[in-house]
């Protein structure tokens, strides 16, 4: 029985967290627009899926970590922490000002930065990157920090402001230092 449960959990894909993020974000939006019932349904369904992912991580840790060797899986893995932050907003409506939700949100923020650093350290810095090896999913890793300021108002608003300002500085640095000559692209005429 335990082995069949682990076998099932191994089949739960980490990228399902993108779906979870969409569901709980839509649920929170619908709730804020006055559609409390349908909004809550979306948040509950997303939270149930998140429980599956958390169980996967807990009971098949070695397998879950090995999936991060794939650059595409590693680049979408921060949707786990983004979804967790948004779920914390939903949970705060039910358990107002509960300390454990603050701890969960802070843990998600810290884990998000760890996943970003891991992705850069393992999949970007060690290799010479060519354009054909860059996938659109790579942007998920970095735009995910936008969830921190959006959810921080209920938890640590100052942290959200710092992350937002830091993101603006990094964006400005990236845009002003971008030099197309450093990125040779073959063009088909």
Q: In this predicted structure, which of 4-8, 19-23, 46-50, 170-174 has the lowest mean pLDDT?
A: 170-174
Q: Is residue 189 part of a domain?
A: no
- CA dihedral sign of residues 109, 115, 118, 124: negative
Q: Is the pLDDT of residue 183 over 80?
A: no
The CATH number of residue 62's host domain is 1.50.10.150
Q: Residue 94: inside a domain, yes or no? A: yes
Q: Give the pLDDT confidence of 45-99 residue by residue, as tens digits.
A: 999 999 999 999 999 999 999 999 888 899 899 999 999 999 999 999 999 888 9
Q: How many domains does the chain have?
A: 1
> Are 53 and 24 contacting, i.e. CB atoms less than 8 angstroms apart?
no
d(CA 78, CA 18): 9
pLDDT over threshold 80, residue 130 = no
Q: Tell whether 62 is covered by a domain.
A: yes
Residues whose CB is less than 8 angstroms from the CB of residue 91 and which lie 6 or more positions away in sequence, other chains included: 98, 101, 104
| Average model confidence (pLDDT) across the chain | 87
pLDDT for residue 40: 96
- Which one, of 76, 61, 80, lies nearest residue 20 by Cα? 80
- The pLDDT value recorded for residue 52 is 95
Q: How far is CA 170 from CA 74, 76, 165, 174, in A?
A: 21, 21, 9, 6
- Tell me, yes or no, whether 187 lies in a domain: no
Whether 139 maps to a domain, the answer reads yes
Which range of residues forms the domain containing residue 32? 2-177
pTM: 0.84
pLDDT at residue 177, as a whole number: 65
Q: Give the whole-angstrom CA distance, residue 19 versus residue 16.
A: 5
Using CA atoms, how far residue 133 sits from 54, 71, 148, in Å, is 30, 9, 28
pLDDT reported for residue 146: 87
Instruction: List the structure tokens of 85.
Output: 């932050």
């Amino acid at each position: 029985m335990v082995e069949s449960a682990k076998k099932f959990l191994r089949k739960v894909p980490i990228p399902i967290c993108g779906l979870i993020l969409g569901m709980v974000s839509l649920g929170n939006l619908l709730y804020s627009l006055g559609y409390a019932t349908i909004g809550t349904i979306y948040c509950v369904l997303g939270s149930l899926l998140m429980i599956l992912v958390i169980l996967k991580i807990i009971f098949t840790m070695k397998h879950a970590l090995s999936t991060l060797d794939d650059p595409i899986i590693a680049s979408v893995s921060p949707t786990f922490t983004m979804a967790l932050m948004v779920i914390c907003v939903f949970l705060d409506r039910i358990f107002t000002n509960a300390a454990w939700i603050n701890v969960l949100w802070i843990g998600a923020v810290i884990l998000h930065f760890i996943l970003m650093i891991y992705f850069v350290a393992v999949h970007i810095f060690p290799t010479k990157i060519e354009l054909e090896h860059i996938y659109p999913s790579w942007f998920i890793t970095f735009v995910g920090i936008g969830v921190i300021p959006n959810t921080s108002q209920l938890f640590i608003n100052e942290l959200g402001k710092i992350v937002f300002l830091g993101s603006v500085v990094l964006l400005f640095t990236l845009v002003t230092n971008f030099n197309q000559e450093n990125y040779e692209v073959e063009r088909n005429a």
